[in-house]
Each structure stands twice: as C-alpha cells, then as structure tokens.
Amino acid sequence: MGRWRQAPRPLGLLLAAILVGIVGRCDGGISSAYVRKAEKTIDMPLDSDVFRVPPGYNAPQQVHITQGDLDGTAMIISWVTEDEPGSSEVLYGTDENNLDLSAEGLYTRYKFYNYTSGYIHHCTISNLKHDTKYYYAIGIGDAIRKFWFISPPEVGPDVPYTFGLIGDLGQSYDSNITLAHYESNPNAQAVLFLGDLSYADKYPYHDNVRWDTWGRFVERNAAYQPWIWTAGNHEIDYAPELVRKSETPLIHYA
C-alpha cells in the first residue's frame, strides 16, 4: 500500500528506455531558460494558500494519479480523507456529465511516532482508451470533487509524449515557483519524479503533517497528470529513535 503509489517497476525501466530512445534519436531542444535559484529558501507556512484543505466534511484531499499499468490503459487514483474512511469508489467516464463507469479501491493508514495519517485511498481504473480525456469524481455528498486527465497515447515508435522531470521539490516558496513554471508549459503531459518529495524528514520528529501539506500543494497538477514516482534518500525516513525500522513510512512507498 503506497502513500505515493509507485507505478509498476518495469514501467520505470520502460520509460527510461523510451526516453533514452527519444534522446538518442531526436533533439527535443531546451524548452526554457528557467533555472531555480541556488540559495536556500524557507518553507511555506502551514496556513499558506497552497496548503488549504478543500471545503466540505471529509472532503478528498491530496488527490494524485499515476500510471497503473505498462501500456497506459490504467490509472491509479489516490487521495486522503481525514475524518473517516468515507468511500474508496471512483466514478469516471469520457462524458463530464455522465460518469457511467466506476471502480472500487482500498484504503490504508499508518502511524509515525505520534502522527496518525488520514485514510489513504488507492483505486485503479482500467481498460482505458488511449489518448482520451477522462473525467473522474471522488468523495460523498457535498464533498464530491471532480478532476480529469488525458490517458497516454498507445506505445509505439515516434509517438510524441512530453514528460516533465522534477526532483527534490520540497515545499518552499521556490518549490511553488518551480511547480508554476512546470505548469506554464502547455505541452507537459506527465511528470517523471526523480525522488525527494516532501522533505518532511527535516522537521522535528519527521513531522508527517508536512506530507499532508505537500500532498495538498502538488494536487493542483498531480490530480490531472500522472506523476510517476521514484523514491529518494529523503523517503527513507530513518529515525530509529522515533519508530522501529519496520514502522518507517518507507514501507508505504514500496
């Protein structure tokens, strides 16, 4: 059960192979001269706009998607509910006003020192058509939230598909500028995330509340495009003085 569900491992290799193939064959060019400034900046405070909890009782938050199979016909939808489990069902379809398909997911939660996570839901939707806009809805009652994504094209030679590469994002004011820069590219279709997501581990007691803020921060993009994860050293969260090794959040990533 991954909090940030990893795509099936061979997919990563496949993507790497595709990427190397593309790089080897054509010149993608440099899309922008943007360089994030080198100086360290401070983290956005807990009451920042980007960390706002969505309105409504038990509203789904931290919504994010990742590719759910090797050829791009499945998507894993993940989100967190804070007050109670609620529903793990995803309604979806190609007609915004008629979400005629549904899938049932599962939820999990974990503890880290004195932090207890919300209910972390994962639901895989399968048999998707390629290169198609899907709408999806999660949540119950007045807290239903709707999103959309475009499924990847069919795998083949010379199929255009534009990935963003982001790593070490964190949650500083500059992280926000980096994400805004990525969003400003209208061609971007998916993110290959190179590890080191929230940097929650640099807080006292590895305050996992900073995982929740991070999830809310990236939702504005990660709910609409598959972010394909790899774990970095900051995901190890090794703190034997706080928790037994078997309880570190690492087990929630693998």
Ligand X SMILES: *[C@@H]1O[C@H](CO)[C@@H](O)[C@H](O)[C@H]1NC(C)=O
Q: d(Cα 235, Cα 112) in Å, to the nearest integer?
A: 13
Encoded one letter per residue, x for contact with ligand X by CB under 6 A and - for no contact, window 123-162 reads ----------------------------------------
Rule CB under 6 A: is residue 110 a binding residue for ligand X?
A: no
Least distance (Å) between residue 184 CB and ligand X: 9
What are the angstrom distances between the C-alpha of 126 and each of 94, 102, 157, 167? Answer: 13, 10, 24, 28
Least distance (Å) between residue 173 CB and ligand X: 5
Give strand ranges (E) for 30-74: 61-67
Half-sphere exposure of 122 (CA within 13 A, CB side): 17
Report the residue number, 49 or 241, with the smaller CB distance to ligand X: 49
Report the residue number, 110 or 205, with the smaller CB distance to ligand X: 205
What are the angstrom distances between the C-alpha of 77 and each of 125, 161, 237, 248? Answer: 8, 21, 24, 23
**Among 4-12, 18-26, 41-49, 225-233, the segment contacting ligand X (CB under 6 A):** 41-49
Report the residue number, 135 or 173, with the smaller CB distance to ligand X: 173
* Touching ligand X, residues 166-225 (CB under 6 A): 173, 176, 180, 205
- Out of 39, 47, 49, 241, point to the residue binding ligand X (CB under 6 A): 49
Report the residue number, 212 or 235, with the smaller CB distance to ligand X: 212
The residues facing 136 across adjacent strands are 92, 147
Least distance (Å) between residue 171 CB and ligand X: 9
Give strand ranges (E) for the chain: 61-67, 75-81, 89-93, 101-104, 106-108, 111-112, 115-116, 119-125, 133-138, 145-150, 163-166, 190-193, 227-229
Q: d(Cα 203, Cα 207) in Å, to the nearest integer?
A: 6
- Out of 44, 59, 74, 138, point to the residue binding ligand X (CB under 6 A): 44
Rule CB under 6 A: is residue 48 a binding residue for ligand X?
A: yes
Three-class SS state of 20: helix
Least distance (Å) between residue 115 CB and ligand X: 6
For residue 138, the one-letter residue type is: I
Rule CB under 6 A: is residue 46 a binding residue for ligand X?
A: no
Least distance (Å) between residue 50 CB and ligand X: 5
End-to-end CA distance of the chain: 8
**Among 12-20, 46-54, 102-110, 191-199, the segment contacting ligand X (CB under 6 A):** 46-54
Least distance (Å) between residue 176 CB and ligand X: 4
> Would you tell me which residues interact with ligand X (CB under 6 A)?
44, 48-50, 114-115, 173, 176, 180, 205
